[in-house]
Structure 1
Amino acid sequence: MKTPTTPSSKFSKSLKFILGAICWTFIIILFTIPLCILAISKVVVILLAKLVRKDLSSVTTGDAAFTIGCSWEKSKLSLGLLCHVQGHLKLEQVQDRFSSSLLAPKVGNCPKYEKLFSCLVTFCGYVFSKTLPPEAVDLNKLIYERKLHPGESLEQVVDDWMEKRYGELMPAWEVMVIPMSRSNNNNDEVKDGIEETIIAFKMHHAPYLVKEVNESIWKKILDAISTPVNLFMLEGPGTNPLKLTKPQTKWIYTFTTVDLAPMKAIRAKYDVHFASIMLSLIVGSIRQYLLEKEKELPANLSLVDTLPCQLHPSQNHILCNHWTIGIIKSPLAADNPLERVIETEKNFLRFHEAGLQKVAVNYLFPFAWLFPQFMAEKVLQKDRIGFNLGLTSLVGANKYEFLGQRIKMIYPLLTLIDSHPFTVFSWFTFSHSDKVDITLGAASDLFPCRNSLSKITEDYFHTEFRNLCLQCGIPLSS
């Protein structure tokens, strides 16, 4: 669904180019001095660290965009995976496999995962990555077994675990092995006697899930010149019926799974993106929730969309996910699911055709890299524009196994309590093995009862998905 090039569109691009050049001229005049001061300060501190602290290295721009302090004091964010592995696995097996595959100096063509041997510290007011000695990587402390207590749910364990701080001067990652039996699992397969092991992994940012878009310098320059004008043309988020009035205090999770085949069929039939389908389903679910709460519905709802694949998986020679961030508007008042998908797709294309999905990565992240800790904290922890609903989507492989056992479900995890405390919702999807595993994280300030949150994923979302498939003439399962 690509917009054809016309003379008027060429003129519009030329006009944007001229206006963008003028905007950049004013930006350079106004901000050159403060940016130079920030850049010189950062470079001086980095050089000082190289002289007196050989174990410190500067964080990447991606890290800097979410960094507000030491990894054991304030978490910028934690990314993780909750893997449902069919069969029983022993703790020692997981430790041995992790040690041989990820902690080795080199595995195949992959270099050592440096982040597994580091933590975040502050030095002269800036956040740095500190390389830890080998003895700090104690697998008995970092990879451990956690059994469910009587009456305790897996969701409760995940809530507390994702909120838990990392140990001081310890690697900023953990693996939790949770054996599931018939007595503590609601899964029908487990009740029938097939055991299951939950392997939960979390890490202080995970750059290995993301690859930067490879573009020429000239393409980046052209995008940069047009960016100011495109930003001025971007509409604001409008009314947000789910906005927090104070920072959230706790983050809770719920999980669900749907078949991937119907989404592929809808995407092919209407030539729309996966993100547009998911965003419209999310908005439809939120719509049902607001109607039940008898809240007023604004015409549209804006959601932040991160990490869609740059190209369709069939067009990528290497399957990977690219750092892109979009603010996509979806019609909340519309009760027609297909209409929401079509309108969301139009807004998705409009945003991406303007190149705005790369603004955060190309400009905001590098600026955040210049900030000392106190500035990063003040900027990141403010909810100035109200974009506090989001979707992050990852593309996976057709099949996953661990130690010879099939991985049935992989639920991505994300916590933003410290760095983005005004976030209300965070939907995180992982497409793999002909399924879409969906995690919904939310502020407990708005959802004090887990049942009210679970109703969104288990009831509203599936109802929206079913209604969309029926309207499109797509069977729910192949």
Structure 2
Amino acid sequence: MSKFLDILVIFVLSVLAYSVLPFFAVFMGISLVWRKCVNISVQVMIARGETWTMLPASGTITTSPYGPHSWSLFVTMQVNQKTVREDFNHNVVQKLERNSASRRLYPELKSCLTERFGYYFWKQCPTFNIEDHINYLDCPEIQKFDDAPDLNKLTNYLLRGRRWTEGKPLWEVLLLQDKDGKSLIIFRMHHVIGDGWSVLKIWEKVFTTRDVRPGLQGAPVQTLREEGNLSKQMFSGIKTPHQLVKLFRSLSKNRGKIPKTAQIAPSAEGICAASREGLPMIEMKAIRAKFGVHFFPVLLAGLAGAVRQNFVAHKVNIPESIPVLSVIPRPCHPEKSRNHGTVCIILLPTGDPVQRLMMISESVKTYTKSSLPDFLYWIGMFAGCLPLPLVRVMNKKPTNVIPLVLTNVVGPPNRCWVAGSEIERIQMGQNILFESSSGFSFGVAFLSYESETTLGTIGLDVNFPSLTIPHAILDHCTAEWKGLLDTTFAITKNDDVTSQSITV
């Protein structure tokens, strides 16, 4: 009976969705026209010969870029050379300044955000000096980069403690040295400038190999989309409202929350981050080949195992599944610095490890073959066309946010050098936009660098009151992958999850 009612609810909601779709298209068209009119008005009335560029719709931000919840990110590059400070100015700063391609492709690096008529614009800074954005950090409390408490202190400072200045470009390079003489090159920027792919493309002008050739030639970008012919795409598009209703219906029925360890006052809310070396890429690829799945479901399987163990540790009933959101790339990323991705939203199962992996693989395959990734991308673009006051009201107090986020960053495929020093390790971090009341718990990031990998996690203090919990999350992810690698597995029939024989 309950299944019949569920089908009936989905049917009714789908009919409503198809009915609303024409009005949504009209409203989107009006928003696009209004946005264009605002842009023309600013160019005629305010710019007057100055360079004012309206922020792309994909870069719209819902939180203040100058507050503690600013959508900031950073990339750290660890090198083992004391002279990096002296070498950096000549080999990096001057190289970026001289590079005409960087000036053409990345005008945002010389511009500041300015709000006019409810929209953000990039306005070129007439007093820009690149050396003003190269700073040497003096942090005596940071003793060792490899020390977990010091790494957490540095992450909190970079994402929450260090604020952007109004009227200045939203990026900087920081140089830090620990007591062992190791140097850390930190590229920090606001996410409005671009995504992780854009960060690597910007640094492509700086990275070199041992023999001083460009170091990021042909860096791989994972893509999960399988483009079909036009008729299939049109048929898939027609089903989009129904697919969207089914997605949100399944999310409404699976509102699982990650157990909280501590209760803290909202004013004291902070973040806690941890990082460690992951399994070598050769072993991660071996899991993928062994089970005949894409790489992305393998990462999600590790997160699913960690989530299950988190419920076990808190002695809480384990739900059958829990929602997870992941950013996935869209084809043909522009050469310019842009946010050019969409999202994959599925339910993570919490059962048997191998069955988890296969179910995740099927869910990801079904999702990415649908029109949902493209439709949600255009939903985001539509939100970017709305005036900022309206966007802020809509996102003032988000609730029922998906609790888990997984990020996969495909780093340089070969060893890189910067300022004459070999980069030993690359890490990334991104601020959390939400508060504890939103329902968000923590995110996990996987970054590859040549044959090595780095696994990191960041969460709110209410979920990570101490460093032991995020480190346990990372340990459980790794243990899940090792368990899959050690499992004897055979597929007796293709594409049939029920016909698999498993021996542990």
Same fold (TM over 0.5): yes
Greater shift, 146-155 or 210-219, is seen at: 210-219
CA drift at 1:22: 8.3
CA distance in 1, matches of 2:111, 2:469: 39
* One-letter code aligned to 2:283: P
Per-residue Cα deviation, 1:182-201 (whole angstroms, up to 9, x for no partner): 3xxxxxxxxxxxx4221121
Greater shift, 420-429 or 19-28, is seen at: 19-28
* Secondary structure of residue in 1 paired with 2:186: strand
Matched residue, 1:270: 291
1:306/1:326 contact within 8 Å kept? yes
Is 1:139 aligned to residue 153 of structure 2? no
2:226/2:368 contact within 8 Å kept? no
* Secondary structure of residue in 2 paired with 1:102: helix
Closer, same or farther: CA 225–98 of 1 in aligned 2, 3 Å: farther
Is 1:462 aligned to residue 478 of structure 2? yes
Is 1:162 aligned to residue 177 of structure 2? no
Is 1:288 aligned to residue 284 of structure 2? no
Q: 1:190-339 counterparts in 2 under 5 A?
A: 195-205=181-191, 206-207=194-195, 209=197, 218=230, 223-234=236-247, 235-237=249-251, 238-242=254-258, 249-258=269-278, 259-307=280-328, 323-332=341-350, 334=351, 336-339=352-355
Q: Which runs of 5+ in 2 are unaligned?
A: 1-11, 144-148, 199-220, 333-337, 490-504
CA distance in 2, matches of 1:293, 1:394: 30
Per-residue Cα deviation, 1:326-363 (whole angstroms, up to 9, x for no partner): 0122212x1x32222111111111111213222222x1
* Secondary structure of residue in 2 paired with 1:391: strand
Closer, same or farther: CA 416–104 of 1 in aligned 2, 3 Å: farther
CA drift at 1:37: 4.4
Matched residue, 1:378: 393
* One-letter code aligned to 2:156: D
Per-residue Cα deviation, 1:441-470 (whole angstroms, up to 9, x for no partner): 11112222223222222x323322322222
RMSD (CA atoms) = 3.5
CA distance in 2, matches of 1:383, 1:21: 25
Identical positions, percent: 20
Matched residue, 2:94: 100
Greater shift, 200-209 or 166-175, is seen at: 200-209
Matched residue, 1:43: 36
* Secondary structure of residue in 1 paired with 2:408: strand
Closer, same or farther: CA 419–165 of 1 in aligned 2, 3 Å: farther
Closer, same or farther: CA 153–405 of 1 in aligned 2, 3 Å: same
Q: Which of 334, 350, 366 is the aligned partner of 2:366?
A: 350
CA distance in 2, matches of 1:255, 1:281: 15
Matched residue, 2:4: none
Greater shift, 207-216 or 253-262, is seen at: 207-216
CA distance in 2, matches of 1:286, 1:445: 16
Greater shift, 236-245 or 85-94, is seen at: 236-245
CA distance in 2, matches of 1:89, 1:417: 37
Q: Which of 172, 175, 185 is the aligned partner of 1:174?
A: 172
Matched residue, 1:77: 71
* Secondary structure of residue in 1 paired with 2:394: helix
1:382/1:422 contact within 8 Å kept? no
CA distance in 2, matches of 1:132, 1:419: 33
Matched residue, 2:52: 56
Greater shift, 199-208 or 440-449, is seen at: 199-208
The number of aligned residues is 427
CA distance in 2, matches of 1:22, 1:122: 39
2:274/2:457 contact within 8 Å kept? yes
Q: 1:8-27 counterparts in 2 under 5 A?
A: 26-27=19-20
1:102/1:113 contact within 8 Å kept? no
1:309/1:321 contact within 8 Å kept? no
CA distance in 1, matches of 2:229, 2:259: 39
* Secondary structure of residue in 2 paired with 1:136: coil
* Secondary structure of residue in 2 paired with 1:239: coil
CA distance in 2, matches of 1:422, 1:207: 24
CA distance in 1, matches of 2:421, 2:40: 48
* Secondary structure of residue in 2 paired with 1:345: helix
2:92/2:418 contact within 8 Å kept? no
Greater shift, 253-262 or 51-60, is seen at: 51-60
Per-residue Cα deviation, 1:118-165 (whole angstroms, up to 9, x for no partner): 2222112222222212x3335245432334426671320121111122
CA distance in 1, matches of 2:289, 2:373: 23
CA distance in 2, matches of 1:331, 1:89: 50
Is 1:117 aligned to residue 138 of structure 2? no
1:392/1:428 contact within 8 Å kept? yes
* Secondary structure of residue in 1 paired with 2:92: helix
Closer, same or farther: CA 378–436 of 1 in aligned 2, 3 Å: farther
* One-letter code aligned to 2:56: T
CA distance in 1, matches of 2:451, 2:349: 28
Q: Which runs of 5+ in 1 are unaligned?
A: 1-18, 183-194, 312-319, 474-478
CA drift at 1:416: 2.9
CA distance in 2, matches of 1:330, 1:377: 30
